[in-house]
Amino acid sequence: MPHSSLYKKLDIEEYIKDFKKFLARDKDIAMIGDTNLHFKFIKELSSLEFKPPKNIPNLNNQLNRLKKQAILSIDEIYSFMQILEYFNYFKTLTLPPLISKWINDIVIPPDISNIITYFTDKGDLNSQKDEELLGIENAIVFNKKAIKESLYNILKSSNLSEFLVDSQIHFINNEETLLVRGGFSNAIKASVVARSSGGFFYILPQSLSDLKAKESALVSQKELIILRYCKEFSQIMSENEKFLSFANKEFDRFDHYQARVFFARTKDYEFVLPQKNNKVILSDFTHPALHDPVPISLSFDKKILLITGVNAGGKTMLLKSILSSVFMSKYLLPFRCNIAKTQIGHFDVIDAIIDDPQSVKNDISTFAGRMVEFSKLFDKKNAIIGIDEIELGTDSDEAASLFRVLLEELAKKDVYFVVTTHHKRLASLLAPNRETGLIAAMFDEEKRVPTYTFLEGSIGKSYAFETALRYGIPKNVVSKVIKLHGEDKERLNELIENQAMLEVKMRQKLEDLEIEKQELDKKEKKLLELEEKLRFDFDSQKTNLEIIYKDALQKAQEAMKQAESKEGRRLLNDANRVLQSTKQEKIKPKESLKIGDRVKYRSHKGTIISLSSDYATIDVDGLKIKVDLTNLKKISDEGNSAKTKKEPKVITTVEKGSASISIKLIGMFGDEAIDKLDRFISDALVHNFSEVQVIHGGGAGILAKLVSEFLKNHPKIKNFYRMPGNLGITIVEL
């Protein structure tokens, strides 16, 4: 739960007080439950026009008493009825879906609804529901009128006129009295009710005693009737205690929502839902404590944000603004910003180390106090911590080294920091760290005033001498200080700033180059994938065309047998010669290859282990593959000679030309067909085919049976089946 001390550290005490004025009853600002769901309800409620609930006291004590069958007062009973009356009012509105379901699910029991009808808008018992009560109230009104008339008659009495201070009727302790001077007893018999600051007396004439006694009796009768109703209502409410407890809890939840909605409307604020990350991106954000502020826009997506620059330039307020935005977003409290460009992450822990922790009572120095605060952070996770003037209380050079290590180690433990500093040493040490972001408070050198604006990715100067002049230190004194400080020291500070900034720029350029390299790698990968796909499509189409051609040629041969023709046979022979010439035509490799060369075959990389004039056997991760030389491309050895080679696997496959998705076994002997099929299946597995065709023909079915036996016992075959239509083709799934 948020602690009030954090409100003070972040300067949001008045903001929280203003917000709490919109609550119907005082409570902690934190809401229990799913933040995303709360946000949806708030956004729906923001679209509605409705009246806010009246102030209602906390009723937890009353609920505990109802559990014990206690009798509540009429005011306590009415407080419960106010909650239920408000829910009834809300049900009369046209509600959006989420709120409609929620409110309409609060079903008030009939006997509780009946109690509501016994109360007026002012919280009194409705006398129209009870004739006896109505009669008593009328009698009380009539009696009061009689008392008032009697007092006016006494005021007109000549005997009392010289003792009257004024001619008014004064109500003292709910009694109608007259204000008189001393000696009044000579003119009228009366009892003194009180004395005024001027020494006069408020008196009640004895002649009114009968009327007052009657009034007292009537009031007592009324109280008895009210007590009877309190007992009756309390009994019913005790029986429905669980429902009342539920309604009370739901009212608190609604109160959280409505207070935020009306607060945002009044201030023209925006709601920012915390995201599931640790980024803080602010656009036109203004801290609620500032009047006429300069809006802040920044991006904090590192582990450490280091704020440097001019004194009194707003560094501390920037730190408080960042932490305040995270705090308000976490608890769905609205604030002013550009909602379209603002994004705030979620942090479990939010804290600030701002005040001087020095304590005489606890015998602790400023620096020791800072160390105590830092020691507590090692147990934190998903935390954002603000630290103002981090080197406070010790030597700045020693502190720079110490706090650099502390910040970097804690950043590894999922702790995020917003740090302000005047010292260049810490900035120069942290700037090269990839997880450090830099922001500088800007200074208008011409006007010699801070601008209360900030530059990201930069280290700022402190402008100590300029600030001293601005606040009234004589110019001749500042000149002596500048001379004592020395130009060399100033140059050293500038060198530190420049070196840190150069490192930041270099780091950014390296990151940009890395991103560019990754993009080029992606493009190269896509081109290679496209090349492989096109080659595969070409090989598939070529194979299919060969199958179609062979089938057509076979049918033509069969037709020629039926009708012998010398011219037809000559044309068939010419076609066969053309087919064979295309198969035998070889493309010579573009570069000479030798055993031991590293080569690329399609998407695989391997090493040549044997070589002939047309083929090479390569080792691809332990798998031997025999391939055509024209399909190999020589690559650098990539340092693989130093690596231990894997033992080759037993599987051997032969690759002639391009891979095929089908094999024709028609006309082969059994042993020859199975050998061809074995190599064909191995080759298909190497090329990651999922399905191939085996063309074995119909005939007597002997070859088909041998193929089936082989496929049944092959460990890499998932499934196989005959193609419908008695075409003599078996489909094999790999």
309 known ligand binder: yes
Q: Which long-range contacts (CB under 8 A, 24 or more apart) does 368-371 make?
A: 369/393
Instruction: Look at the alpha carbons of 709, 714, 720, 722 in this order and tell me if their dihedral is positive or negative.
Output: negative
Instruction: Calculate the alpha carbon distances from 282 to 270, 335, 383 in Å.
Output: 13, 12, 19
Token pair of 716, please? 């890499």
313 known ligand binder: yes
- What region, left, alpha or beta, does residue 275 occupy, with left being phi > 0 and alpha being psi -120 to 50 degrees? beta
Distance CA 603, CA 593 (A): 19
Which of 74, 116, 100 has its CA nearest to residue 240?
Answer: 116
311 known ligand binder: yes
Q: How does DSSP assign 714-726, residue by residue? A: -TT--EEEEPTTT
315 known ligand binder: yes
Token pair of 728, please? 């003599």
Residue 686: partners with Cβ closer than 8 Å, 6 or more residues away: 623, 625, 653, 655, 659
Distance CA 477, CA 480 (A): 5
Distance CA 117, CA 125 (A): 9
Which of 151, 203, 161, 201 has its CA nearest to residue 181?
Answer: 201
Q: Do the Cβ atoms of 634 and 593 come closer than 8 Å?
A: yes
Distance CA 695, CA 665 (A): 6
Residue 595: partners with Cβ closer than 8 Å, 6 or more residues away: 608, 609, 610, 611
Total residue count of the chain as it appears in this document: 734
| CA 157 to centroid of chain Cα atoms | 80
Q: Do the Cβ atoms of 282 and 325 come closer than 8 Å?
A: yes
280 known ligand binder: no
Q: For residue 611, give the 3-state DSSP assignment.
A: strand
The amino acid sitting at 381 is K
Distance CA 126, CA 120 (A): 6
Token pair of 165, please? 């201070």
Instruction: Calculate the alpha carbon distances from 38 to 165, 261, 279, 302, 441 in Å.
Output: 63, 12, 21, 29, 37
Instruction: Look at the alpha carbons of 628, 629, 635, 639 in this order and tell me if their dihedral is positive or negative.
Output: positive
Annotated binding-site ranges for ATP = 309-316
Annotated binding-site positions: 309-316
